Amino acid sequence: MKVIKINEVEIGMVLASSIFLGSSDVELLSKGVEITERHLQLMTRLGIKEVSVVSDSAEIVETSTSNEQQVQMIKDEADRVGESFDAESYLDALNKIELKEDDIEPVLTNVANANMVIHVLTGDGNTPIDEKHKDLVEHTQKAFDQLKTGNEIDLESIRRDVNKALPDMIRNDDVLMRLSQLKSGDNYTFDHSLRVSILATMIGKWLGYNEEQLSDLAQASLLFDIGKMKIPDFILNKPNKTKEEEFDIVKKHAQFGYSILLKTEGVTNNIKYSALQHHERLDGSGYPLRLRAGQIHEFAKIIMVCDIFDAMTNKRPYKDKTSPFEAAEYIQWHAGKTLDSKICYIFLKNLAVFYTGKDVLLSTGETGRIIYVDVNFPTRPVIQVGEKFVDLVKEKDIKILELYS
């Protein structure tokens, strides 16, 4: 294996390790992928500076760390940063969440019906969701915090709060504006889950889900990442996770979340499979079970799109955010390959409607206003900059760095 600069990458090289989005657990390209021209364009556009490539085909062999090795790595990191860590209890917890594909139903029926009547719920006022529905935020935040030391959540309380907030979550199709209203707190996982819940519920609305299904989707997408509460903070929030083995530790959150929800009274399959499968991918390259398209629950397919979009467009202490257009281009690029094409199309098409009239910052350093969005190229609009017009479909080297609400 060798690490090379992005400008040294050649078509046909093979990735020796996966590429992740910043320091998140969102995988951009998988280990063993043969780099194509489109991969290179994607990495360049997303600001990837260097990659690990194989120097020998034998290096492509799939490897994984054992539970014992993961616990030892966590213990070593805990010692390094001066944190306490109960290695014995954590190893016991890891052993209890081991899964086999046989543990999961082989076929999961999609919940959406293409001919379903769209049920549009409406709310009143323009108060941000986190201000108007403090009970939802406080109760869910409390549930997240309690999971650090226990394994129980009060799903019924969360369900009541979700149903109360649901009309406001989906009343305005300009979801980017709604997200910009939310305040960021100290718990990134919780803030991220709240934003993903709003995005996913909007997609459910656009797909034509009825009120009961929207409620289930809102709960599922609020709780999909709860397994991260079982990953030690000093690992989860480590600024520079450079080893694939460190990501292997974080990846366990899907199984931890499923295990928690499996024991939660009143939980539906929709909710527990969302936690387990939101990192699966249609081509079988995801985790933890490497399921393929027909085996993945539709809620998980929705959440994986929202998870990627929000992770890319929000800043963390160790990762700059990308513009919604760059995130949308990533989603569009993966539609039909690793992400569900119908869900991607619905999401991008509806986002594009609200781009027109928004001001943007271009990679040229210029600012301008979006005046036209072609539905066939929703991520490459026409921008008016002063007296000139910049068509990003034609100007492929120019990109939108920031979208102003």
pLDDT tens per residue, range 336-386: 989 999 999 999 988 888 888 889 999 999 999 999 988 778 888 999 999
**What per-residue confidence (pLDDT) applies to 107?**
44
Name the domain count of the chain: 3
Of 196 and 29, which is predicted with more confidence? Answer: 196
Residues 239 and 312 in one domain: yes
38-42, 255-259, 315-319, 388-392: which range is least confident on average?
315-319
Name residue 316's beta-bridge partners. Answer: 319
Separation of CA 5 from chain center: 27
Name residue 27's beta-bridge partners. Answer: 20
Q: Would you say residue 78 lies in a domain?
A: no
Arithmetic mean of pLDDT, 209-224: 94
Query: Would you state the torsion angle of the CA atoms of residues 178, 272, 115, 162, taken in this order, to the nearest 10 degrees?
Result: -40
Locate tokens 């543990």: which residue? 103
Residues 107 and 233 in one domain: yes
Among candidates 209, 199, 220, which has minimal Cα distance to 347? 199
Of 375 and 298, which is predicted with more confidence? Answer: 298
Radius of gyration of the chain (CA): 21
What is the residue range of 368's domain? 359-404
Q: Would you say residue 384 lies in a domain?
A: yes
**What per-residue confidence (pLDDT) applies to 103?**
55
41: CATH: 3.90.105.10
Q: Would you say residue 292 lies in a domain?
A: yes
Residues 156 and 106 in one domain: yes
**What per-residue confidence (pLDDT) applies to 123?**
41
Residues 278 and 390 in one domain: no
**What per-residue confidence (pLDDT) applies to 173?**
76
- Asked if 223 and 264 touch (Cβ cutoff 8 Å), the reply is no
- Asked if 287 and 277 touch (Cβ cutoff 8 Å), the reply is no
CA distance 57 to 276: 32
Total residue length of the chain: 405
Of 218 and 143, which is predicted with more confidence? Answer: 218
Within the chain, how many helices (H) and strands (E) appear? Answer: 16, 9
Per residue in 37-88, pLDDT tens? Answer: 888 887 887 778 888 898 765 555 455 678 999 999 999 999 999 999 999 9
Confidence at 316, pLDDT banded by 50, 70, 90: low
Q: Would you say residue 373 lies in a domain?
A: yes
38 by Cβ neighbours in 10 Å (0-12 / 13-18 / 19+) ranks as: exposed
**What per-residue confidence (pLDDT) applies to 386?**
94
Of 303 and 376, which is predicted with more confidence? Answer: 303
pLDDT > 60? residue 312? yes
Name residue 356's beta-bridge partners. Answer: none
Q: Would you say residue 24 lies in a domain?
A: yes
